[in-house]
Structure 1
């Protein structure tokens, strides 16, 4: 039996998933390793997972490390490869229509075009519901986990633009002419504020969601890679 769990995404990240730009998400490990000064190599992080013969999860997916200074382990709350994540996003079901359609803020009004509701659901009349309150039946995006690992938030600093691991976070790659590309987490057009390094665009994205203190602490994060599957 395939295990499913909910996961929250902001509107820009929902659009990035739907457009195929986002195939990975990074989330802080709840219980950080006991010594954040250790390098990745010092930690020698390994992984263990378990499934029964029928495919049922036994005890989830764990990352762990042992060293003379102590032991650390954490269970991934998002699952393991093969599990699925259904996306919670900001949504609404206008009560003035029967049956009431599900409307998604990330792609409004595109999500209602062709359904005869364009003139019946003006944006000002919609009472948007927080993503945390979305039910499974109303989710339109289903993701299958393809890989899980743990790394420091800023491990990819110094990678070239072409090899940067953060492009897969949904960062826009923007052509500025003469073969030059810049990057931004939210904008897709040339202009001031675009970054020449994907790492800087990634930093802006992370800080917008988690705050500057979280960035500066350079926490260990779960790296969850995924692909879209049919709901």
Structure 2
């Protein structure tokens, strides 16, 4: 089977203010994104599950003996994927090792620079409120242009898993905040006004639900996710090669 996506790519990735701060602090080296599974097979047929065969599962595609061209001159790299055990439908995650991801975050232009791309640096709201300057209202991260991005992530590993498979080390790598005494921040209102958890996974659960529960992908749903590991570079993606 040919790998549909095997060339390293530049992509953008949206982050909330707390997660941008975690990137800047060096606390965040992983992110998990929901995998939106196909509803039809490659032949446009229905996705159905045979009780003796099963449904979606993590797997790999490509690798030894696989090629990208009929002449078998271009080896297909092994890639993590998710595949359906009944229909054989296979889907690759949106990210692969070697990809460069430029971070999008909430920002503002200086009012003097609205129509002049990059003449003055934007304000990044993850850094707090500006102490000077005449900045416009915060613009959502989805509107950040490539030139304004200040962080670039280089993907080093990609895994496919169910959300609740995350372990404690990975939960910490997601950038949850610790208090330095073995407790971890609670990101949602909890019973009895709990503000911290002793377990990193519980802290991550509240972080995840604060961002994804309203979208229908809460912790209890246990969606399939793409777990991306990366290195953080404090520079614009287009400055990477020049550095």
Q: TM-score higher than 0.5 here?
A: yes
Kept in 2, the 8 Å contact 1:21–1:170? The answer is: yes
Deviations 1:194-217 (A, max 9, x none): 011111111111111111642221
Deviations 1:2-44 (A, max 9, x none): 5211110001100001111000100111116966x99x9x835
| 1: CA distance, partners of 2:101 / 2:170 | 21
5+ long unaligned stretches in structure 2: 1-6, 40-46, 70-75, 237-243
Give 1:70 deviation, angstroms.
Answer: 2.6
| 2: CA distance, partners of 1:108 / 1:66 | 45
2:57 to 8, 26, 43: 43
| 2: CA distance, partners of 1:119 / 1:51 | 54
5+ long unaligned stretches in structure 1: 53-57, 113-117
TM-score, normalization: structure 2?
A: 0.70
Partner residue, 1:115: none
Kept in 2, the 8 Å contact 1:29–1:74? The answer is: no
Coordinate RMSD, CA, aligned: 3.5
3-state SS, counterpart of residue 6 of structure 1:
strand
Which is strand-richer, 1 or 2?
A: 1
In the alignment of these two chains, the number of paired residues is 200
| 1: CA distance, partners of 2:196 / 2:60 | 37
TM-score, normalization: structure 1?
A: 0.73
1:18 to 20, 24, 27: 24
Change (3 A) 1:219 1:32: farther
Give 1:148 deviation, angstroms.
Answer: 0.6
Partner residue, 2:122: 102
- 1:123-138 to 2 correspondences below 5 Å: 126-138=136-148
- 1:18-167 to 2 correspondences below 5 Å: 18-31=24-37, 43=57, 45-48=59-62, 63-65=81-83, 67=85, 69-77=86-94, 79-96=95-112, 99-109=119-129, 118-121=131-134, 126-156=136-166, 159=167, 163-167=168-172
